[in-house]
Every structure is written in C-alpha cells, then in structure tokens.
C-alpha cells in the first residue's frame, strides 16, 4: 500500500501580469501586488486529486521524496502543464508530473473573472508504513474434567516464543476466554486457578486464524493430593486438530487410550474408527474401505513405517505417551500425500514438554513398558520409551513347550528416543529414533516329518529422522523432515521339507519438505516435495502362491509342491513435488483446496529374466510420470452444517516382492486409483455431530496372477486387475462433554475385484456392514468406564465344493466353487473397560480392567475344512477374556 501525502505551495501569476501568489499548504499564499494590478479575487481550489503511483523502482528503498512542480492551470481548471522545479529523481518526478496533469481545479478568478494561473505544487511521496504483523487468536473454554462444569476465574497466560511478555486473560462465568493479537508461533498456555495445580499445554498460533481449544482440568479430589501437589499431566486438550482432509477421523491420545480393547494403547483405536474393517483377530491388519492392507500407508510424523501394529495385532509400534493424535483418512487425501491406493494413517508424535524429570511405567499380561521425559536446559526436551513383551516367555512356561508349539505366541518390542530443541524463537528441531522388532514362530509336529509344519516370521525396522520447523515469516512455516530407515523382514512356512520363504532387506532414505504460506486472508498455499528412495534386497524360495488374494486357496491349505527361487534387488525412487492451495472464501464458509502432485518415479530391478545358470542377469530400468490432481471443497452454509467433497488420482509403486522375474513381473506397471468422496456433517450441539459420507474408489492395473496356462517368463503377475469400492459411511460423534465422549459409526460398502474384462466379484477384504459404537465416561473420583460394541459382516471366502485325492502326496486337494461367494459368519463383540486413578503426591497410579467379548460369543474368525474337505467348520475367536493392567505415572 502506498500512501501519498500532498502539500501545496503555489505561485500565482495572472497570465501576462507577472503576478505571483504563494500559498502554504493547503492554503494558497499570496505575494504582494501593485495596487493597480489585477486582483486575485478567488484562489484555485483542487477539486480532483489524482494519487501518484509510488515508483516501483523506489518501493524497496523505503525512502520518501518531495517533488515541487509548477502547474499551469487554465481558466477552465485543467492543468495544462507541469514543470519540475525541485527534483526528487526521475522516477518520482515523472510520477508526480503524470498525476498532476490529471488534476482538476476550480479555476482562479482575477477581478472576478476565471483566469489562468500558475502555482507551485509540492507532491510528497511517503513510503508505505509497514503493515502490522498478522496475528492470531486463542479462544477456548476451561472445564472441570469429568464433570464438564465451567471453571471461572482461571488465569490464562500465553507465552509466545519471541514475545516480550505473556498475554493474559481470565475465564468468565462460562469458563470461556479469548486472547487476541497473539503473534504467530509456538506458545505455552498456562492455566492457574483454585483447586488445581498450574497446568500447561503447547499450542501453535497461526497468523490470521483463531485457534479454538477446550481444556479439561482435573480438580483435586477432596481426598486427593493437596493443592499444589497435583500432577501437571492432568490437562487434557480436546481441541480438534487441524482437519484438512475431507473425510478423516482424528482422535486425541487421551481419548483413544480409554477405548476398550486398546489396553491403553492409543494407536489401537484405529481398529474402531469408521470405515475400518474388523480384521481377523491377531492379524494386525488395517483394512480401510475394502482396500488391501498393503494399500493403506502408515506415517509417523510424515515418515513411512511398515506397520502400525506388532505381529499379532496386540500392540502398536509406538509407546502411547509419545502419541499426540492419530488420524485415519480412508481416501481423498490431499496432494502432500500419495503412493497409496487406499487409506492413510497418520500418527502425530510428540516430545512431551516437562519442567522436571518424569515418566510412566506400565505392565499387563502381554508386556511391560517404560517412558521417561525430562527437560534438557531451557531450550530442549528429551523423551524415551521402551516396551518389551514377555507373553511368549510366561505362556511357554505355563502351557509347556508342546502346547506352546501349536499356539502362535508373538514376541515383540519397540523403543523410541526423541529430543526436541528450540534453537531460536523461530525454530524447533526434533531428532527422533524409533525401532520395533517382531518375532513369531510356531510349529505343528507330526509323526510323518513330511507333514510337520513350521511358521516363522520376523520384522525389524528402524527409523531415524529429523523434523525441523521454522517460522520463516509471520505468515509462513517451513517443515523439513529428512529420514533414513532400515527394514528387515522374513516370512517362512515349511511343510515338511517344502519351505516357502521371503526375505527382504530394505533401506529407506527420504525427505519431506513443506512450506506453508498464508498469502492473504483467504489464500493459503502448501508447497513441498515428498522424496522417497527404497533400496531392497530380496530373496524368495518356494511356490508361487505365498500371498492371499493372488490365487484361490482355502485357509490352511498346504502350499503347492512346485518350487521356484529368486534373489533380486530393487531400487525405487520417487520425488514428488506438490502444491496445494486453500481458498477460504466468505470468511471460511467456502473452502476450495485444489492440489497437484507430480509423481515422477523410477525403478531399477537387478533381474528381468528368471534366474538361470546359463544366462546372466539382465537388469531393468523403468520410469514413469504422472500428474495427480486433487480437489477438495468444504462449504459451511451455516454454523452447524458442513458439506464436503473431494476427488483425486492416486498411484502406488508396485510392491518390491512383486518385481521378481520368477514370482512376479519386473515390468509391472504402476497401479492407479481414483477417489471420489462427498458428504456432510451437522453439528447437533457444540460437541455432538452427525457426519455422512459417500465414497467411490476405482483402481486399475492391479497385479494379478497370470491366468494363462503358458505365460511368458517373468510374467507370473500381470497388471490386469481392477478394483472398485463404494459405499456410505455415517458417524454420530460426541466430543468430550461433561466427561462423555464416543461415537457410533456405520459403514455400508462393497469392495470388488475383477480380472481383465471378467465379471466383478467380491474382494477378499469386503465387509458389507461395519458398525462400531464406542462410549466412554469419566466418573468422579478418578474412575473411567467405557464400552465398545462391534458388528461386522464376515469376509468373503471361496467355498470348497468337492475334493480329489492326490495319491502321490497322500493329500486331498480342494475343488473350489465361485470365488468369494460365501462369507465367514458375522462378528459381534462387546468389550468393556473400567479404570481407576490414584493420585499419590506427585504421581499417579492407574489400574484398568478390560473384559473383552463380554457375551462370550463364539465369533468366527475363519472357515476351515476337514483334511478331506468332507466337513466344514469355523475357528472361533477368544472366549470372554479379562485383561488387567497397571501403570504408574510420575
């Protein structure tokens, strides 16, 4: 913005009379005149001012200027000429002249007659004053935890990094507060009031936005610790995280840990989220909207990790104390994310900020864990967590080696180390290391060694990353996350001497950089790059059919006895620049988020021909490029109604294990998918909302086992598969209110596959009906109670309609009916959870009891057959199962 101030200095001369009149700004100053001379009876008056354009060349100099012009004003008031008398430089001179020539005056009068006149005019340029820095606001409520009653008179103090003094407010009768004019950046919110010890929370203030929060404060119980000895971990932040995806479910860690079935493991709440199929017990799979588990990507702080749960699905791979929130996006996500055909699980981790050393230890039947956190001076924090399972150790002792050999007992462990450094007021740096390890081994002995079976799996992964966030300006933030990781996996099954195995060693190097800029009040832009490089060494041996879904098989069927082998290396390189804009119109009533992700992709496979002693390996290099447009629209026609729609193209690199010349196809093309989503939500109350979402996804170029009886070499897999999923998802959600939160989610959907132009059939991961109800309530005196009800249609399976005797192997082989034409029986389960906290001086002890499958219903997990396929039955899940756990937080 250029502001031009104008002053007038005039020299008046009646034409041909040599009169001169000098006037001070804005008035005219007359010079002395001879008595007989014509008399200026009216001064010229500027009636139309033209603002001069501030010269672009001078804009950055920050200096002002004054140009004095001599204007020749005609008798009609127009400016006939403008002459520079005092120059301020060519640019300013010209700008002033150009403007002055367009002035219009009420003409001067000499002796009562309009006359031409000359005046001096000073045109002053002043640089635009600096805009006031954009500011944010913090608006919130403070309530008593578990009661929902507002807390009045609570002193709210916000300390923003770089600000001279804290910003303060006091809650009103309704517990509400508001603090405006907050500079953007990281802020520490401290609450002080009667009945509780001071508590703190970290918030991110963003320019031009109003951050809405709700704080739940645990008041000291009458019999609890004395005032001032409370626990500073009692604050529960229930503000919804920034929601940019059109359809997603995000849950804060504090709420998630109360859901039955999680055993306090925050990330296990994903199983109960809308759109997530009920996976087989112990599988640990995340199946979203009928997509194959491997099509849904899992990120921790934007860093891809190979799995969300440990083997067996009993625990997640991250300690709950380091989880801030978890968000599931079933589809339609924005341009910053890609390389997946299905959904996305994003875990926001945290380094808890403390003013003293603290931690938490916990133990139950499965494992024990420890977490510690401490400040490292004023500018850094440290946190670490470790978890080790001992289920296998005690179960083996309790059951005996023989029984334990039958029962699959996973062994697992994980650890995380995080250091948060704030080197300046604008920067935060988190250095993170995380690792997880899984071991699983089970064998079924048999008097005939050829029938003895062994199942062995292991997966170790490590990730090291650095997350650097810099407030580059008042309106922009830069986040850079470089990472490196190693994943070692092995799965082997042996049926007598017939072993099928797959071993992989995968190095992962990547970086994610995102620059977010609020260009104007109505436009925000995210631009960045998502770089991911994988180097994988693989070795596989055995029959072709190792993975379900590639060939029709029945659960527990012995593998084919035909063997192949291959060892190959794969390098996958993807560097995807992206940009996403958020147009916020009509004060946010309409948001349009167009995005574009460019996904150039290169692949190198060490062997394009099957292994042969007679022919050397010939490598393959392939590259691909796609543009993946994304569009999301969110409209809020009223305060309580929100409509959403999204569409986008997605792509996923072929799985490295599918790029074998023996077992797969090194030249597989990249599968692609289209997501289309539309829906809306209604806020029934401030905390109760109903959301309805319709979705349609379509995938193509999926790798399928070649249907040919004589396929070409290195074409065991061919990209002839298509998939589609469509359905409707409804969720009634109660955010935390008076200690109550929960949701009822129902998904009606269908997921289908087909080969080539063949007929559509159900996919292996279709669950037509998924209903999940979660209800949690915070009771007085530190008690919490919750329940979870789940109903899910069974997964499709291919029936066995007959059998024939394979006399050479002395085995019966199944004859299949129509693919996926029967289902595992429906699943219904009710779980309940109760916990009690004991505040002991500056620490807290929590004991919880979960009772899973309260009805003791015999839920079917899988269809199995007699060895000669003459009878069919189902494996049932666990009976009623109590789980007791304890944790101590200090």
Interface characters, 860-889, with other proteins (x: CB under 8 A) = -xx-xxxxx-xxxxxxxxxx-x--------
**Interaction between residue 280 and other proteins (CB under 8 A):** yes
Q: Which of 129, 377, 616, 808 binds other proteins (CB under 8 A)?
A: 808
Stretch that binds other proteins, among 211-219, 297-305, 438-446, 600-608 (CB under 8 A): 438-446
Nearest CB to other proteins, comparing residues 423 and 445 = 445
Stretch that binds other proteins, among 53-61, 279-287, 681-689, 745-753 (CB under 8 A): 279-287
399 phi and psi angles, rounded to 5 deg: -90, -20
Residues 556-615 that bind other proteins (CB under 8 A): 556-558, 560-565, 610-615
The least distance separating other proteins from the CB of residue 260, rounded to whole angstroms, comes to: 17
Q: Is 322 helix (H, G, I), strand (E, B) or coil?
A: helix
Based on its alpha-carbon atoms, the radius of gyration of the chain, rounded to whole angstroms, reads: 36
Contact between 731 and 250 (Cβ < 8 Å): no
Q: Which of 24, 153, 802, 882 binds other proteins (CB under 8 A)?
A: 802
The least distance separating other proteins from the CB of residue 400, rounded to whole angstroms, comes to: 16
Return the residue matching tokens 């915070």: 778
Residues 415-434 that bind other proteins (CB under 8 A): none
The least distance separating other proteins from the CB of residue 449, rounded to whole angstroms, comes to: 4
CA distance 434 to 437: 10
The least distance separating other proteins from the CB of residue 795, rounded to whole angstroms, comes to: 12
Residues 708-727 that bind other proteins (CB under 8 A): 708-716
CA distance 348 to 515: 18
Stretch that binds other proteins, among 140-148, 496-504, 584-592, 739-747 (CB under 8 A): 496-504
Nearest CB to other proteins, comparing residues 35 and 710 = 710
Cβ burial of 302 (10 Å; 0-12, 13-18, 19+) is buried
CA distance 847 to 235: 19
Q: Which of 487, 493, 747, 835 binds other proteins (CB under 8 A)?
A: 493
CA distance 644 to 642: 7
The least distance separating other proteins from the CB of residue 215, rounded to whole angstroms, comes to: 40
Q: Is 59 helix (H, G, I), strand (E, B) or coil?
A: helix
Residues 538-557 that bind other proteins (CB under 8 A): 541, 543-545, 550-557
254 phi and psi angles, rounded to 5 deg: -60, -35
Instruction: Indicate if the alpha-carbon torsion angle 711, 716, 719, 720 is positive or negative.
Output: positive
The least distance separating other proteins from the CB of residue 362, rounded to whole angstroms, comes to: 21
Return the residue matching tokens 């199942």: 455
The least distance separating other proteins from the CB of residue 265, rounded to whole angstroms, comes to: 16
CA distance 416 to 61: 51
255 phi and psi angles, rounded to 5 deg: -75, -40
Stretch that binds other proteins, among 75-83, 157-165, 172-180, 799-807 (CB under 8 A): 799-807
**Side by side, which strands form the sheet with 40-42?**
40-42, 108-110, 113-115
CA distance 57 to 625: 42
Q: Which of 28, 123, 495, 765 binds other proteins (CB under 8 A)?
A: 495
**Interaction between residue 408 and other proteins (CB under 8 A):** yes
Contact between 336 and 580 (Cβ < 8 Å): yes
Token pair for 308: 């969300």
Stretch that binds other proteins, among 80-88, 401-409, 478-486, 585-593 (CB under 8 A): 401-409
**Interaction between residue 497 and other proteins (CB under 8 A):** yes
Nearest CB to other proteins, comparing residues 749 and 863 = 863
Determine the size of the site formed for other proteins (CB under 8 A).
100
Token pair for 410: 């996973």
The least distance separating other proteins from the CB of residue 560, rounded to whole angstroms, comes to: 6
**Interaction between residue 184 and other proteins (CB under 8 A):** no
The least distance separating other proteins from the CB of residue 664, rounded to whole angstroms, comes to: 11
**Interaction between residue 444 and other proteins (CB under 8 A):** yes
**Interaction between residue 157 and other proteins (CB under 8 A):** no
Stretch that binds other proteins, among 160-168, 296-304, 407-415, 584-592 (CB under 8 A): 407-415
Residues 683-712 that bind other proteins (CB under 8 A): 704-712
**Interaction between residue 409 and other proteins (CB under 8 A):** yes
Token pair for 724: 């589609």
Q: Classify strands 843-852 and 827-840 as parallel, antiparallel or unpaired.
A: antiparallel
**Interaction between residue 103 and other proteins (CB under 8 A):** no
CA distance 847 to 853: 20
Stretch that binds other proteins, among 263-271, 281-289, 518-526, 833-841 (CB under 8 A): 281-289
Contact between 883 and 866 (Cβ < 8 Å): no
CA distance 258 to 787: 9
Stretch that binds other proteins, among 47-55, 85-93, 269-277, 451-459 (CB under 8 A): 451-459
Nearest CB to other proteins, comparing residues 514 and 820 = 820
Residues 612-631 that bind other proteins (CB under 8 A): 612-615
Q: How far is CA 780 from CA 236, 300, 670, 777, 840, in A?
A: 16, 35, 55, 10, 17
Nearest CB to other proteins, comparing residues 391 and 787 = 391
The least distance separating other proteins from the CB of residue 755, rounded to whole angstroms, comes to: 8
Contacts of 43 (CB under 8 A, 6+ apart): 10, 12, 21, 23, 27, 28, 108
Token pair for 256: 């998630």
Q: Is 151 helix (H, G, I), strand (E, B) or coil?
A: coil
The least distance separating other proteins from the CB of residue 765, rounded to whole angstroms, comes to: 15
Contact between 716 and 767 (Cβ < 8 Å): no
The least distance separating other proteins from the CB of residue 693, rounded to whole angstroms, comes to: 31
The least distance separating other proteins from the CB of residue 440, rounded to whole angstroms, comes to: 7
Return the residue matching tokens 């909207």: 289
Residues 284-323 that bind other proteins (CB under 8 A): 284, 311-314
CA distance 792 to 237: 32
The least distance separating other proteins from the CB of residue 615, rounded to whole angstroms, comes to: 8
Stretch that binds other proteins, among 132-140, 440-448, 505-513, 578-586 (CB under 8 A): 440-448
Contacts of 427 (CB under 8 A, 6+ apart): 468, 469, 470, 471
**Interaction between residue 811 and other proteins (CB under 8 A):** yes
The least distance separating other proteins from the CB of residue 548, rounded to whole angstroms, comes to: 10
Residues 259-278 that bind other proteins (CB under 8 A): none
Q: Is 870 helix (H, G, I), strand (E, B) or coil?
A: coil
**Interaction between residue 89 and other proteins (CB under 8 A):** no
**Interaction between residue 397 and other proteins (CB under 8 A):** no
The least distance separating other proteins from the CB of residue 851, rounded to whole angstroms, comes to: 14
CA distance 205 to 183: 7
The least distance separating other proteins from the CB of residue 696, rounded to whole angstroms, comes to: 27
SS3 assignment for 21-36: CCECCCCCCCCCCCCC
Nearest to 282 by CA among 94, 444, 440: 440
Residues 40-79 that bind other proteins (CB under 8 A): none
**Interaction between residue 804 and other proteins (CB under 8 A):** yes
Return the residue matching tokens 């002839």: 720
Q: How far is CA 60 from CA 4, 56, 63, 125, 267, in A?
A: 16, 8, 8, 14, 52
Stretch that binds other proteins, among 9-17, 295-303, 402-410, 729-737 (CB under 8 A): 402-410
Q: Which of 74, 803, 834, 847 binds other proteins (CB under 8 A)?
A: 803
Q: Classify strands 717-737 and 740-755 as parallel, antiparallel or unpaired.
A: antiparallel
């Amino acid at each position: 913005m250029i502001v031009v101030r104008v002053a007038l200095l005039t020299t008046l001369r009646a034409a041909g009379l040599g009169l001169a009149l000098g006037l001070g700004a804005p008035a005219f100053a007359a010079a002395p005149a001879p008595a007989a001379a014509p008399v200026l009876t009216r001064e010229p008056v500027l009636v139309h001012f033209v603002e001069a354009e501030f010269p672009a060349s001078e804009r950055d100099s920050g200096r002002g200027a004054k140009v004095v012009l001599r204007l020749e004003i005609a008798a009609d008031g127009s400016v006939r000429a403008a002459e520079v008398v005092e120059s301020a430089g060519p640019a300013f001179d010209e700008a002033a002249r150009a403007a002055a020539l367009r002035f219009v005056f009420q003409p001067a009068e000499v002796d009562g007659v309009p006359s031409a006149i000359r005046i001096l005019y000073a045109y002053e340029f002043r640089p635009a004053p600096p805009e006031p820095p954009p500011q944010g606001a913090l608006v919130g409520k403070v309530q008593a935890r578990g009661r929902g009653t507002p807390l009045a008179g609570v002193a709210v103090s916000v300390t923003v990094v770089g600000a001279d003094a804290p910003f303060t407010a006091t809650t009103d009768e309704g517990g509400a507060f508001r603090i405006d004019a907050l500079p953007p950046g990281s802020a520490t919110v401290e609450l002080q009031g009667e009945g509780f010890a001071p508590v703190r929370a970290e918030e991110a203030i963003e320019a031009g936005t109003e951050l809405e929060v709700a704080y739940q404060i645990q008041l000291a119980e009458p019999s609890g610790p004395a005032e001032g000895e409370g626990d500073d971990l009692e604050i529960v932040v229930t503000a919804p995280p920034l929601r940019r995806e059109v359809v997603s479910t995000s849950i804060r860690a504090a709420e998630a840990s109360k859901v039955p079935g999680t055993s306090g493991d925050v990330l296990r709440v994903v199983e109960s989220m809308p759109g997530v199929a009920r996976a087989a017990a112990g599988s640990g799979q995340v199946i979203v909207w009928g997509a194959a588990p491997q099509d849904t990507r899992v990120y921790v702080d934007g860093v891809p990790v190979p799995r969300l749960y440990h083997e067996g699905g009993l625990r997640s791979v991250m300690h709950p104390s380091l989880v801030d929130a978890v968000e599931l996006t079933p589809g339609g996500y924005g341009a910053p994310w890609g390389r997946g055909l299905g959904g996305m699980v994003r875990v926001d981790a945290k380094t808890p900020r403390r003013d003293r050393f603290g931690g938490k230890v916990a133990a139950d039947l499965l494992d024990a864990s420890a977490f510690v956190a401490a400040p490292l001076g004023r500018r850094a924090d440290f946190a670490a967590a470790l978890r080790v399972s001992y289920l296998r150790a005690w179960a083996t002792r309790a059951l005996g080696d023989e029984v334990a050999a039958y029962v699959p007992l996973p062994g697992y462990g994980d650890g995380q180390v995080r250091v948060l450094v704030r080197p300046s007021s604008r920067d935060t740096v988190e250095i993170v290391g995380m690792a997880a390890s899984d071991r699983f081994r089970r064998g079924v002995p048999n008097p005939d060694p050829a029938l003895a079976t062994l199942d062995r799996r292991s997966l170790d992964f490590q990730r090291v990353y650095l997350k650097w966030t810099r407030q580059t300006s008042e309106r922009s933030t830069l986040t850079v996350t470089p990472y490196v990781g190693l994943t070692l996996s092995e799965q082997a099954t042996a049926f007598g001497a017939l072993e099928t195995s797959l071993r992989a060693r995968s190095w992962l190097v990547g970086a994610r950089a995102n620059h977010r800029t609020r260009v104007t009040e109505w436009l925000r832009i995210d631009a960045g790059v998502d770089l991911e490089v994988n180097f994988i060494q693989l070795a596989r041996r055995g029959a072709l059919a190792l993975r379900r879904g590639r060939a029709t098989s029945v659960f527990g069927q012995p593998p084919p006895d035909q063997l192949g082998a291959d060892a190959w290396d794969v390098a996958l390189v993807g560097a995807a620049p992206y940009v996403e804009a958020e147009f916020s119109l009509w004060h946010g009533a309409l948001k349009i988020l167009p995005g574009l992700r460019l996904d150039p992709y290169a692949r190198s496979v060490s062997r394009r021909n099957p292994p042969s002693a007679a022919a050397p390996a010939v490598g393959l290099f392939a590259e691909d490029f796609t543009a993946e447009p994304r569009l999301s629209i969110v409209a809020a026609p009223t305060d309580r109604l929100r409509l959403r729609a999204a569409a986008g193209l997605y792509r996923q690199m072929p799985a490295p294990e599918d790029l074998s010349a023996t077992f797969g196809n090194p030249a597989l093309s990249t599968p692609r998918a289209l997501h289309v989503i539309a829906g809306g939500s209604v806020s029934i109350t401030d905390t109760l909302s109903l959301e309805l979402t319709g979705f349609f996804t379509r995938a193509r170029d999926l790798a399928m086992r070649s249907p040919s009886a004589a396929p070409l070499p290195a074409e065991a897999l061919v990209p002839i598969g298509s998939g589609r999923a469509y359905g409707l998802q409804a969720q009634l959600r109660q955010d935390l209110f008076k200690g109550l939160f929960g949701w009822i989610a129902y998904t009606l959907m269908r997921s289908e596959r087909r080969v080539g132009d063949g007929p559509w059939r159900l996919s292996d991961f279709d669950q037509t009906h998924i209903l999940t109800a979660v209800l949690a309530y915070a009771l007085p005196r530190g008690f919490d109670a919750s329940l979870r009800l789940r109903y899910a249609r069974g997964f499709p399976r291919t029936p066995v309609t007959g059998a024939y005797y394979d006399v050479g192997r002395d085995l019966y082989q199944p004859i299949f009916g129509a693919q996926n034409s029967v289902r595992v029986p429906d699943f219904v389960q009710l779980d309940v959870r109760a916990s009690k906290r004991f505040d002991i001086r500056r620490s807290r002890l929590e004991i919880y009891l979960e009772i899973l499958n309260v009805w003791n219903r015999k839920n079917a997990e899988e269809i199995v057959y007699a060895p000669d396929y003459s009878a069919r039955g189902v494996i049932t899940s666990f009976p009623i199962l109590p789980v007791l756990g304890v944790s101590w937080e200090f």
